[in-house]
A and B are shown apart, each in its own frame.
Chain A
Amino acid sequence: MQKKRWYEYLWIWSSVYLILGFFNILFAWLGLICFILPLMISIVWGNKAYCNRYCGRGQLFELLGGRLGLSSNRKPPKFLSSPWFRYGFLTFFMTMFGLMLYNTWLVVSGAPLREVVTLLWVFKLPWNWTNTSAAAPGVAQFAFGFYSVMVTSTLLGLITMVLFRPRSWCVYCPMGTMTQGICHLKHRKDD
């Protein structure tokens, strides 16, 4: 049996990240690593090594859906991997991300802090048990918003994991679409 490499355990990081948000929402800032690293790798090296090797979330879905058998393993519908759906979802996702940044800006400008985690961009869960006094209101607001983004995308991934194949999330993951787009731009001649 082949010896496992360190990066094959990154699903632990993804799980711990989600749990930490229950104790202190400020840990949500750590999720920026999962945003910056894939972009950096694709911009600097022009590949999708993050998706291919280091994505803890993908590994988590593989573990839950594959090894634990929580996935139905059905073929996903064709539209899920079509460019219009992938880029459409990326646009929607980035619009919601922009709105989250705008809300953070409002709090920085003096609006009251909203201690809620928004699931699937609609359902607002009160999240006022976490202590945010150590940080400025704007810093805390970004954490609430960013954690909402991370939990929402995990939830969507879990739903498609159950309905289709374990890593169906990878098919329409906005980060995956973005990094592949960057690779397309970087390797225009080979494309």
Chain B
Amino acid sequence: MAAKKIAIIGKQCVACGRCVRECPLGALSIYKGLRARVDARRCVGCGKCERICPAAIIEIRERQVAPHAEKALV
């Protein structure tokens, strides 16, 4: 497991999808209209989504991410 800075989506996500369009690496997606989720392998913690989120519920924090995991969705 390696520590890396990634976007963490708060519980009060309204699933508007603004962050999905902003992410330059396609690391974000809307999961079944419920909330945004992050592919931790793709996310580089640039903070673009954090700055744009209309609800301000995204934070960039350090997380342990398994480097060889096929997908690491947070």
Contact at A52–B34, with CB atoms within 8 Å? no
- Taking chain B's interface residues, is the majority helix, strand, or loop, or is none over half, making it mixed? loop
Chain A residues within 8 Å of B74, by CB: none
A66 to chain B, nearest CB (A): 9
Contact size range, B: 10 to 19
> How many angstroms between the C-alpha atoms of A80 and B57 in the bound complex?
11
Number of A-B contacts (CB under 8 A): 84
Interface 9-residue window, one of A99-107, A117-125, A144-152, A179-187: A179-187
Is A58 located at the chain interface by the 8 A CB criterion? yes
Contact at B55–A47, with CB atoms within 8 Å? no
When C-beta atoms are compared, the residue in chain B nearest to A184 turns out to be B34
Contact at B32–A183, with CB atoms within 8 Å? yes
Contact at A167–B32, with CB atoms within 8 Å? no
Closest 4 CB pairs of A and B: A52-B17, A183-B33, A48-B33, A81-B55
Q: Of the candidates B14, B17, B56, which one forms a contact with A165 in the assembled complex, judged by CB atoms under 8 Å apart?
A: B56
Contact at A190–B34, with CB atoms within 8 Å? yes
Contact code string B48-62 (vs A, CB < 8 Å = 1, else 0): 000011111100000
Contacts A76-B54, A76-B55; is A171 near B33 (CB within 8 Å)? no
Q: In the complex, given contacts A83-B12, A170-B54, A184-B34, what are 14 additional A-B residue pairs having Cβ atoms less than 8 angstroms apart?
A: A42-B33, A47-B30, A48-B16, A51-B15, A52-B20, A81-B56, A165-B52, A165-B53, A166-B54, A170-B18, A170-B55, A171-B55, A183-B33, A187-B32
> How many angstroms between the C-alpha atoms of A167 and B17 in the bound complex?
11
Chain A positions 41-94 with a Cβ under 8 Å from a chain B Cβ: 42, 46-49, 51-53, 58, 62, 75-76, 78, 80-83, 86
Contacts A76-B55, A165-B56; is A171 near B14 (CB within 8 Å)? yes
Q: Looking at B14, B18, B30, which has the most chain A CB atoms within 10 Å of its CB?
A: B14
Contact at A167–B18, with CB atoms within 8 Å? yes
Chain B residues within 8 Å of A171, by CB: 14, 16, 54-55
Chain A positions 149-168 with a Cβ under 8 Å from a chain B Cβ: 164-168
Contact size range, A: 35 or more
When C-beta atoms are compared, the residue in chain B nearest to A79 turns out to be B12
> How many angstroms between the C-alpha atoms of A104 and B52 in the bound complex?
40
Chain A positions 91-148 with a Cβ under 8 Å from a chain B Cβ: none
> How many angstroms between the C-alpha atoms of A48 and B31 in the bound complex?
9
